[in-house]
Amino acid sequence: MTSPNSSISSSESGVRYLAVSLGLAAALLGALCLLSIKVKWFSDLPDYAPLLAYQLEKLDRSAGLDTVFVGDSSLGNAIDTETFDRLTGRRSANLALTGLFGYAGSYNMIRRAVEKEPGLRTVVVVQAADMMSRADDLRGYVLSTPRVLDADLPAALRWPVARAWIGELLDWQTLKTAIRAPVLRLLSRPVRDIVIENDYVKQASSRAPFGPVLRAEDVVPGKLDFLQRIAELCRVQNLTCVYAHGPLAAELLDRSHGFFQAADRLIESTGLPLAAPEPVPLADSQIGDTQNHAAPGEKAAMTAVYAAMLRPFIDAGGSKPKEQTARTTQPKP
């Protein structure tokens, strides 16, 4: 006959076994999630990840920066900081990511730069000319945020950002990358990487077809979420911040004036001043591999154009001590 104590002991053992199993499963899932996040941010496999790592390493190596450029590939292919510094007397870094990161990526790069460079005075945001027509930036936020739990996020953004996190952690491609990257390294096999040329990703050898003409109704009002965060951060940190459209093929720009009028009203409503109301036009001979990339040989000349355009803001950024004046205008009511 089985004793009552024996039954109790068996039951307790079963509970302990279940608890240990659940604990191990949770630990394994957590480890996979952390590995997934790590690879998603810093692996050599996805195209955007090595570029983010490259720009973060650049920021870590730099010291004494007073100016940073943030934005996407239109910036990466338009601004050469050596030329810019020679023309303006500044010490700058180009922290361009890609259009995937959107305004959220720019916001997170500014946050990183502020923490790294206490003497930072000026921030120039250069985004693709059509950025105001693109989808939301939530994935770009998740991929570039310096903190997983961000108390600074407004309540309206917390659940959308949480959904974006869940989507990334449950994405099969993310998991596959998380497994594949360390295995390749363990076997000493090369992983896919980017080629850096003149401080940004090397352009493709052929030009992509142009996109459609931009229309006023293409503007996405929701794009202001992280642009407003940028403007607020600039006010809090007393930075001179300015927004500049990336360059655009002249033939598209000539038929897209209504789009920029509508986009500019929203951009300026955040309190960020515009360097110019429209993009710098690219003649056919100046266009690189896309409609908003300057050709590699035009980068120095394009930098000179932007340096002249930004001169009033550069001068303003150096006219008073950083702590004495907020550089951006207040948002319109």
- Residue 173 has, within 13 A of its CA and on its CB side, a CA count of 6
Distance from C-alpha of 42 to C-alpha of 81, rounded to nearest angstrom: 24
Residue-wise pLDDT for 185-244, tens only, equals: 566 554 456 789 999 999 999 999 999 999 999 999 878 999 999 999 999 999 999 999
Distance from C-alpha of 255 to C-alpha of 262, rounded to nearest angstrom: 14
pLDDT of 85 reads 97
pLDDT of 158 reads 81
Q: What is the rounded average pLDDT for all residues in the chain?
A: 84
Helix (H) / strand (E) element for 95: namely none
Say if CB 248 and CB 292 are below 8 A apart: yes
Helix (H) / strand (E) element for 240: namely strand 240-245
- DSSP one-letter string for 143-208: HH-S-SS-TTS-HHHHHHHHHHHHHHHT-HHHHHHHHHHHHHHHTT-------EETTEEPPPSSPP
pLDDT of 319 reads 43
Residue-wise pLDDT for 39-92, tens only, equals: 444 444 456 777 888 898 899 888 899 999 999 999 999 999 999 999 999 999
Spatial CB neighbours of 248, under 8 Å, sequence gap ≥ 6: 129, 130, 256, 279, 280, 281, 282, 291, 292
Spatial CB neighbours of 194, under 8 Å, sequence gap ≥ 6: 47, 50, 51, 54, 201, 202
- Asked if residue 318 has pLDDT above 70, the reply is no
60 or 182, greater pLDDT: 60
Residue-wise pLDDT for 95-128, tens only, equals: 999 999 999 999 999 999 999 999 999 999 999 9
Q: From the CB of residue 179, how many other CB atoms can be counted at a distance below 10 Å?
A: 14
Within its chain, how far is the Cα of 28 from the centroid?
Answer: 30
**Short-list 191, 64, 69, CA closest to 119:** 64
pLDDT of 96 reads 98
pLDDT of 68 reads 98
Distance from C-alpha of 150 to C-alpha of 104, rounded to nearest angstrom: 13
Task: Provide the β-strand partners of residue 93.
Answer: 68
Q: What is the pTM of this model?
A: 0.78
> Can you count the helices (H) and strands (E) in the chain?
12, 8
26 or 211, greater pLDDT: 211
CA dihedral 112, 116, 120, 125 (to 10 degrees): -20
Distance from C-alpha of 196 to C-alpha of 312, rounded to nearest angstrom: 31
CA dihedral 103, 105, 111, 117 (to 10 degrees): -110
pLDDT of 46 reads 57
Mean pLDDT for the stretch of residues 259-281 = 97
Mean pLDDT for the stretch of residues 288-294 = 97
Percent of the chain surpassing pLDDT 90: 56
Distance from C-alpha of 35 to C-alpha of 49, rounded to nearest angstrom: 14
Q: From the CB of residue 52, how many other CB atoms can be counted at a distance below 10 Å?
A: 23
Q: Are strands 67-71 and 92-94 parallel, antiparallel or unpaired?
A: parallel
Residue-wise pLDDT for 123-172, tens only, equals: 999 999 999 999 878 888 888 888 877 777 888 888 888 888 787 777 66
Confidence of residue 29 (pLDDT cuts 50, 70, 90): confident
